[in-house]
Chains A and B, each alone.
Chain A
Amino acid sequence: MESIISVHNLTKSYKNVEAVKGINFEVEEGEIFGFLGPNGAGKSTTINMICTMLKPTSGNIVINGYDVSKDKDAVRGSIGIIFQENTLDEKLTAHENLMLHCRFYNVPKDKREERIQEVLEIVDLVEEKSQRVETFSGGMKRRLEIARGLLHYPKVLFLDEPTVGLDPQTRAHLWEYILRLKEKEGITMFLTTHYLDEAEISDRVAIMDQGDIIAIDSPTALKDQLGGDIIELSTEDNEQALKEIHEKVKEAEVTVDEDTIHLKVASSDAFISSFIKTLNIPITRLNIRKPTLNDVFLAFTGRKIGETVKE
């Protein structure tokens, strides 16, 4: 496959801080690329540089064959961006917002109405096209923004926290639209999200921390790298149980999170039956699961994804 985005030795320094420390990665055409990292990791800085909104200190970025620092307009025409915050003009109708976008991006005049209809159909907003955006719900606004981002047939669609601030049902819906889009149009998607379960749909994810990319692979490969199963359990007396586990169980990695004990083992099938017998403290809750991206994230960065979020 061809690389649609390639980033080489990209750095960005502010006065005293090196926000991005020479990162390298490639995004292949047609894939969903998840870009994860705790707040302050340098994600937004990186995206802003890729989207021509911020000048890199050094390094180079090529999108769709165009150099970001030399050929800004061609790059801008090749990408669509769904920003974290709402960037619609709420005083205008959905149709007017889309039409303005067509004109900004020089969509041929005779194609405009057709394309507007097409993108509105993708996000199910055909009926609402003459309504002012201020009357829309949060989810409808997001969908309209996605529709708008598609109007000029971008090669890459950037989705920066597309579901932030939406309720779970709307979030699930939105992902349906996004996946439908990938299937229908085959657009490359560059995605950031705080909800790691949402990042599972990515073909590959990159984890960024403190200005560096510390892991890059498919979600499955990353999870396999951690290996094994995770057993979560709560007991009537966790302290006593921990003592016993430390004495008797040698093959498991043990961590404690509030009132839950996590055991990481190579394979839970063999382990669990003997384990339950060895433990004398009654178990109140037991859960066996495969590692998720959350565990991957925790293992690589030493924190949970939301931990540095100020709320």
Chain B
Amino acid sequence: MEGIIAIWQRDLLKFFRDKARLFGSFTMPILFLLIFGGGMSGSMETMMAGSMPEGAGEFNYVEFVFPGIVAMTLLMTSIFSAMSVIEDKDFGYMKEIMVSPISRVSIAVGKMLGSATIATIQGIMLFLLIPLLGLSYDIMALIQVIPFMFLLGCALSSLGLLFSSLINSTQGFQLTVQILVMPMIFLSGALFPVSNMPAWMDFIVKINPVTYGVDVMKKVMVDIENMSSTVMDAMGLNLTLFGRQLTIFEEVIFIVIFAFILVFLATVSFKRANA
């Protein structure tokens, strides 16, 4: 336990010391918010309005895309923070960790918690943009969504961790992860609804943990009680699996299982690396 906390604290400490990383990682989501929020909202809203019966309510694209951008930030930060494992290998520090009596599970879990915490902090920092985007969320909803963000962060960090334990160069990692991250964002319903996809794409959507993360976040953040079912459909808030609408609880279970399997695999990979 002590080992987990030590590894977690070290990653956090290094994150706060690295000012360039702290602010640099902020630019990408802002760029996306500008492009998707500002640039695309007009056309997306006209498109959606065309398919909606009159009086069904308003579809606000920025409201739709904001949780998605937060999830995207979680995805990017989680996976790229897991790259610290490769940096530690490069700079030799991984050896110091590996020869110590900390269990390999603790190393994996400590690293996962570190990345997930950093990702959640970055996500929360995006909340500062809410007033600038002309959005208003219930403050309680924002607080409630944080644990879910952290959970999604854990799942995604464990994915990044598995890759970084298998790959030995930062370049290789960046390349591999890029290929992985893009479809995970686009096929998650973060930026546009994924309700009517071809079957093979729908399959990817359904095994993608980001899909469930985004859906949970939207359900918690957006005021769904006062929303007509048409608008909910337009927002993509009707995620179904095997023809049945999913509850938040089921989605959380899926994310937890995903995280457990990947942490397990990462642990095995750490063990193998130093038999």
Contacts and interface: CB of A to CB of B under 8 A. Distances in A.
A54 interface: yes
Given A92-B10, A96-B13, A103-B6, A53 B98 contact: yes
Interface string A26-66: 00000000000000000000000001111100000000000
Contacts of A79: 99
Contact of A92 (B3, B14, B92, B275): B14
A76 B102 CA distance: 9
A55 B101 contact: no
B101 A89 contact: no
Contacts of B2: 103, 106
Interface residues of A, number: 29
A158 to B, nearest CB: 9
Nearest to B106: A104
B48 interface: no
Given A51-B99, A76-B101, A106-B2, A85 B10 contact: no
A290 B93 CA distance: 43
Contacts of B5: 103
Contacts of B93: 87-89
A91 B17 contact: yes
A105 B100 contact: yes
A152 to B, nearest CB: 9
A8 to B, nearest CB: 19
Nearest to A103: B6
A88 B88 CA distance: 10
Contacts of B97: 104
B14 A100 contact: no
Task: Indicate the size class of the contact surface on chain B.
Answer: 20 to 34
Nearest to A54: B275
Contacts of B96: 87-88, 101, 104, 148
Contacts of A76: 99-101
Contacts of A208: none
Contacts of A85: 92
B274 interface: yes
Given A87-B93, A87-B96, A104-B6, A92 B13 contact: yes
Contacts of A83: 92, 95
A104 B13 contact: no
A77 B98 contact: no
Given A54-B275, A92-B14, 14 more contacts: A51-B99, A52-B99, A53-B274, A74-B101, A76-B99, A83-B95, A87-B96, A88-B93, A89-B91, A91-B18, A104-B96, A106-B2, A106-B101, A148-B96
18 contacts: A51-B99, A52-B99, A53-B95, A53-B98, A72-B101, A76-B101, A83-B92, A85-B92, A87-B91, A87-B93, A91-B14, A91-B18, A100-B6, A100-B10, A101-B100, A103-B6, A104-B3, A105-B100
